[in-house]
Structure 1
Amino acid sequence: MGYDVIVRGGRWFDGTGAPSAVRNIGIRDGRVAAVTAAELDADGARVVEAAGRWVMPGFVDVHTHYDAEVLAAPGLGESVRHGVTTVVFGSCSLSTVHVGPLDAADLFSRVEAVPREHVIRTLEQHRTWDTAEEYAAALERLPLGPNVAAFLGHSDLRASVMGLGRSTDRRVKPSAAELREMELRLVDALKAGMLGLSEMRNPWDKMDGDRYRSRTLPSTFATREERRRLYRIVRSAGRVLQTIPNLNTPYSLVPALAASVGRGGRRPLKTSMLAAADVKANPLLMHIMGPLARASNRLGGDFRWQHLPVPFRVHADGIDLVVFEEFGAGAAALHLKEEVERNALLRDEDYRRRFRRDYENRWSPRIWHRDLYDAHIVACPDPAVVGRSFGQVADERGVHPVDAFLDLVVEHGRALRWYTVISNHRPAALDKLSALPEVQMGFSDAGAHLRNMAFYNFPLRLLSRAHHGGFMSVERAVHRLTGELAHWYGIDAGTLREGDRADLVVVDPDRLDGSLDEAREAPFEEFGGLVRMVNRNDATVTATLVAGVPLFLDGRFTEAHGTRRTGGFLRAGRTRIPSMA
Structure 2
Amino acid sequence: MTYDTIIRNGRWFDGTGAPSAVRSIGIRGGHVVAVATEELDETGCPQVIDATGKWVLPGMLDIHTHYDVEVLDGPALSESLRHGVTTVMLGSCSLSTIHVDGVDAGDLFGRVEAIPREHVIDAVDRHKTWTTCDEYVDALEARPLGPNLAAFIGHSDMRTAVMGLVRATSKSVSPTKGEQAEMERMLAEALRAGFVGMSSQQLLFDKLDGDTCRSRTLPSTYAKPRELRRLKSMLRKAGRILQSGPDIQNPLNVGSQVAQSLGIFRNPLKTSLLSAADVKANPYAVHLMGPVARFVNRLGGNFRWQHLPVPFEVYADGIDLVIFEEFGAGAAALHLRDEVERNEMMRDESYRREFRKQYESKFGVRVWHRDFFDAHIVACPDESVIGKSFGQVGRDRGGVHPVDAFLDLVLEHGRSLRWRTTISNHRPEVLKKLAREPSVQMGFSDAGAHLRNMAFYNMGLRLLRHVNDAKQAGREFMTIEAAVHRLTGELADWYRLDAGHLRIGDRADVVIIDPAHLDESLDDYAEQPVEQYGGLSRMVNRNDAAVTAVLVGGRTVFTEGEATDLVGRQRTGRFLRASHKSPALPTEKGELTSVG
Aligned to 1:282: 282
Determine if the alignment matches structure 1 residue 445 to structure 2 residue 451.
no
User: Are the equivalent residues in 1 in contact too, given 2:93–2:154 (CA < 8 A)?
Assistant: yes
1:331 maps to 2:331 = yes
Q: Say which SS state the counterpart of residue 345 (structure 1) adopts.
A: helix
CA distance in 2, matches of 1:204, 1:131: 30
Change (3 A) 1:574 1:34: closer
Give the deviation of 1:118 after TM superposition: 1.0
Asked if residue 113 in structure 1 is aligned to residue 114 in structure 2, the reply is yes
Inter-partner Cα distance in structure 1 for 2:368 and 2:199 = 24
Distance 2:364 2:40 in 1: 63
- Tell me which residue corresponds to 2:348: 348
Amino acid at match of 2:112: V
User: C-alpha distance in 1, partners of 2:65/2:264?
Assistant: 32
Query: 1:528 — aligned with what?
Result: 534
Q: Per-residue displacement from partner, 1:252-278 (whole Å, max 9, x unpaired)?
A: 2111111100011x1110000010011
Q: Which of 507, 513, 518 is residue 519 of structure 2 equivalent to?
A: 513
**1:192-271 aligned within 5 A:** 192-264=193-265, 266-271=266-271
| 1:59-88 deviation digits (Å, cap 9, x = unpaired) | 000000000011111110000000000000
Structure 1 residues 345-394: Cα deviation after superposition (integer angstroms, max 9, x where no partner): 00000000000011001112210000000000000000010000000000
Distance 1:236 1:149 in 2: 20
Cα root mean square deviation, aligned? 0.9
Matches within 5 A, 1:280-429: 280-397=280-397, 398-429=399-430
Deviation of 1:44 (Å): 2.4
Q: What is the CA distance between 1:519 and its match in structure 2?
A: 2.2
Distance across 1 between alignment mates of 2:407 and 2:466: 38
SS in 1 for 2:406: helix
Matched residue SS, 1:378: strand
Rounded Cα–Cα distance in structure 2 between residues aligned with 1:372 and 1:64: 29
Cα distance in 2 for partners of 1:460, 1:254 equals 33
CA distance in 1, matches of 2:229, 2:250: 20
Q: Does 1:176 align with 2:169?
A: no
Query: Residue 92 of structure 1: SS of its match in structure 2?
Result: helix
Superimposed CA distance per residue, residues 210-264 of structure 1 (whole angstroms, 9 cap, x where no aligned partner): 1110011000000100000000001110000000000121232111111100011
In structure 1, stretches of 5+ residues that fail to align are: 576-581
Aligned to 1:134, what secondary structure does the other structure show? helix
Measured in 2, the distance between the counterparts of 1:7 and 1:122 equals: 39
Amino acid at match of 1:43: T
SS of 1:63's partner is coil
State TM-score, norm by structure 2.
0.96
| CA distance in structure 2 between the aligned counterparts of 1:297 and 1:11, rounded to whole angstroms | 34
SS of equivalent residue, structure 1 residue 112: coil
Aligned to 1:579: none
* 1:21 equivalent in structure 2: 21
Residue 501 in 1 paired to residue 507 in 2? yes
2:497–2:580 contact (8 Å) kept in structure 1: no
Taking the TM superposition and a 5 Å limit, the aligned residue runs for 1:472-483 are 472-483=478-489
Letter in 2 for 1:480: R
- After TM superposition, the structure 1 = structure 2 runs for residues 454-465 of structure 1, keeping only pairs within 5 Å, are 454-465=455-466
Task: Look up the equivalent residue of 1:153 and give its one-letter code.
Answer: G
- Structure 1 match to 2:95: 94
Is structure 2 residue 579 aligned with structure 1 residue 573? yes
The residue type paired with residue 335 of structure 2 is H
1:321 counterpart letter in structure 2: L
SS state at 2:123 partner: helix
4+ residue runs over 3 A deviation: none
1:39, CA displacement in angstroms? 1.4
Q: Distance in 1 between matches of 2:69 and 2:140?
A: 11
Moved more, 241-250 or 475-484: 241-250
Worse-superposed segment, 187-196 or 511-520: 511-520
The answer for the alignment partner of 1:154 in structure 2 is 155
Cα displacement (A) at 1:42: 1.5
- TM-score, normalising length: structure 1: 0.98
Moved more, 473-482 or 250-259: 250-259
Alignment of 1:468 onto 2:477 = no
1:428-467, Cα deviation, whole Å (9 max, x unpaired): 1111111101100000000000000000000000000111
Q: 3-state SS of the aligned residue for 2:236?
A: helix
Aligned equivalents of 2:297, 2:561: Cα separation in 1: 43
Give the Å deviation of 1:574.
5.8
Residue 486 in structure 1 maps to residue 492 in structure 2:
yes
* Separation in structure 2 between the aligned mates of residue 156 and residue 545 of structure 1, nearest angstrom: 33
The residue matched to 2:331 in structure 1 has which SS? helix
Query: What amino acid sits opposite 1:529 in the alignment?
Result: G
Report how many aligned residue pairs link the two structures: 574
Aligned equivalents of 2:126 and 2:32: distance in 1? 37
CA offsets 1:317-353 (integer angstroms, 9 cap, x no match): 0000000000000000000001111000000000000
In structure 2, the partner of 1:435 is 436
